[in-house]
Structures are given as C-alpha cells and as structure tokens.
Structure 1
Amino acid sequence: MELLRFRRFHETDLAVYAAWFADEELARRAPFPDTDWLAEATAGEGVVAEIASLDAEGTPVAVIRYEEEGDGGMTLFIAVDPAQRGKGVARRVLDAFAERAADRFSHIDVFVARDNEAGLALVRACGFRLIDGPDDDGFVPYRLGLTD
C-alpha cells in the first residue's frame, strides 16, 4: 500500500488544486482556492490547509482545510482530486488525519450538504455521528470525538 503523507499547503500547490475545479461536482461544493483562500490558509492564524499525497513527490490527492474551534475541536473540510474518486482515498485520508488530530484536538466537526450522498456516506463510515439536523443552508453537522 502506498504511504500516505501530509504536508502544509504551499502557494505552489494552488495551480494543481485550482485545476480540480474543472470538475462540476467539486466546483459546486467547495470554495474556489483564490488568493484570499491561500492567504487565510497559509497565515497560521487558526486556519490550516494541508495536502495529502501518496507518492514521494508529494502529488496532491486531497486537500484538507481546518479551523480551530474555541472548544478544543476543529471544523474540517476535505476535497479529493476528482481523478481519485471511488478509490478509497477520502476514507484513508480522513481516517489518517483524525488519528493525527487526536494528539491536539478533542473532536472534528464537518458540515455536509444534505444532497452530498458520497460525503454523508464517508463521514458515517469514518465514525462521525450526527449532532443536529440540517441548518438553514442545508448542511448537516457531524462530529467525530477524538478523546475517550
């Protein structure tokens, strides 16, 4: 099995990540990574973006962006390279990320669009639990507890 690696998102990753947005599904579900997105994600002020890769070159297969919450947890967003869909990459990345995050955070919250069947299946398979009904924008909140 290929080694999964994480590293901080760098401005040189922006073109690769932005190219994923040619995919209509990703484009409608995620904020486009423009210069403001990059500045916020690389400033080191509570919002962090990371790349997950499966090769020694660090080729992105997923982008994870999270924001620290005031209650010891984080809110997480994950985007997978459209060419990697259906290969188990999202599950592998999310499981590995949660394992790493347990050293620092008490929980991970995600907000999945209620019509995103793949996203809902992913978070359920990774052990996230429903914490409320959909909000006014149609996002369903799930939480994964990281501490015993």
Structure 2
Amino acid sequence: VPNGEPARCWVAMQGDQLIGEVQVDRDGAERGYLDLAVCPDLRGRGFGAAVLSAFLSGPGQAYPILEGRIEPDNAASLACCRHCGFAFLPEPDADGFIQAVYKMPRHAFG
C-alpha cells in the first residue's frame, strides 16, 4: 500500500517469519476500517491478539475510531477483538457481519 494513501498496511514479523498483517482504510479524520490477518498455521495461539494489541498501542493511535466487520461464526476473531477492548454493535450489518468498534482512549491523542 503506497505511503500517503487512505489505506495503510503493517506487517508483524518474528525474525524472518510473517506472523500477521493489519490494514486500515481511513474514512475521514476520525474513522478507520480495520482488517487483521494471522498466518494460518499460527491461528488459535494468541498471535492475533498480540498483533492487534501492538497495533492499537502503536500506529493504531492515529485512528480515533477503528471498526471491523466479523463473520458471526468466526469465534477466534470475535474473541480477539473482545480481548483487545472492541465493543460489538447489537445488530449485524446489512451483510450479516458483526461490527466491532474500538474508540481510542483519550490519553492516546496527546
């Protein structure tokens, strides 16, 4: 993703092994739409929560509000977002996805 574009991407590495990636598509100054992927053979071992937590405490602070959409049967992604402090909207969106929303704590804005 080219630098300066509304979409940005970060990768998480352990040595020379790719662990996961985070992509955010910015929508105005306030909101970013988040995608998180973890290497398939590492799923279910806490790497997703570790990558997402590191993102939220680092480059994620540039986004006052982050939103992700999760398939209702994706228990691992739901647990990961819950662990990292995301709130879930009570109703699925028009496509049947659960919307997870994270509002950056005020102290992160300086």
Q: Same fold (TM over 0.5)?
A: yes
% same residue: 28
Aligned to 1:138: 96
The alignment covers a number of residue pairs equal to 105
Structure of higher CA gyration radius: 1
> Considering only aligned residues, what root-mean-square deviation do their CA atoms show, in Å?
1.5
The 2-side partners of 1:86 and 1:42 are apart by 31
TM-score, normalised to structure 2, is 0.85
2:77 maps to which of 98, 115, 119: 119
Greater fraction helix: 1
Unaligned ranges ≥5, structure 2: none
Q: Which has the higher contact order (CA 8 A, sep 6+)?
A: 2
TM-score, normalised to structure 1, is 0.65
- Asked whether the equivalents of residues 9 and 23 of structure 2 are also in contact (C-alpha less than 8 Å), the reply is yes
1:49 maps to which of 1, 6, 9: 9
Unaligned ranges ≥5, structure 1: 1-40
Greater fraction strand: 2
The 2-side partners of 1:87 and 1:131 are apart by 26
Change (3 A) 1:114 1:99: same
**1:94 is aligned to 2:52:** yes
Aligned to 1:20: none
